[in-house]
Amino acid sequence: MSTPISIKLTRKEGLDPHFSALLCMEALKFKANITFSYQGRKVNAKILTDVMSIGAEHGSLIQIHAEGDDAGPALDALIALIQNS
């Protein structure tokens, strides 16, 4: 079981449809169960409509949680995508 990682969305558009899709496509590369949490709402990171529904905007702090054999690499990949966007 991994500890949730908190990360700030620095992308000016926040979790718009395009970036939500990129995050989902990245999450789908891994077998781990991955969730995003924002303002008390937890969603499956592999379901586009779920990710878009949390409505996190620029400057929002979201949490990423992953469980499974490849949880570490999954977190690393998603964090890198968020930090480099």
| Class of domain 5-83 (CATH, top level) | alpha beta
pLDDT on residue 3: 75
**Can you give the pLDDT at residue 1?**
52
3-state SS string for 18-69: HHHHHHHHHHCCCCCEEEEEECCEEEECCCHHHHHHCCCCCCCEEEEEEECC
Please provide the average confidence, as pLDDT, over all residues in the chain.
94
Q: Which helix (H) or strand (E) holds 6?
A: strand 5-8
Whole-number pLDDT of residue 85: 86
Biggest CA–CA distance in the chain, Å, is 33
Under the banding of pLDDT at 50, 70 and 90, the label for residue 73 is very high
Q: Is 69 exposed, middle or buried (0-12, 13-18, 19+ CB in 10 A)?
A: exposed
Instruction: Give 22-61 pLDDT, tens digit per residue.
Output: 999 999 999 999 999 999 999 999 999 999 999 999 999 9
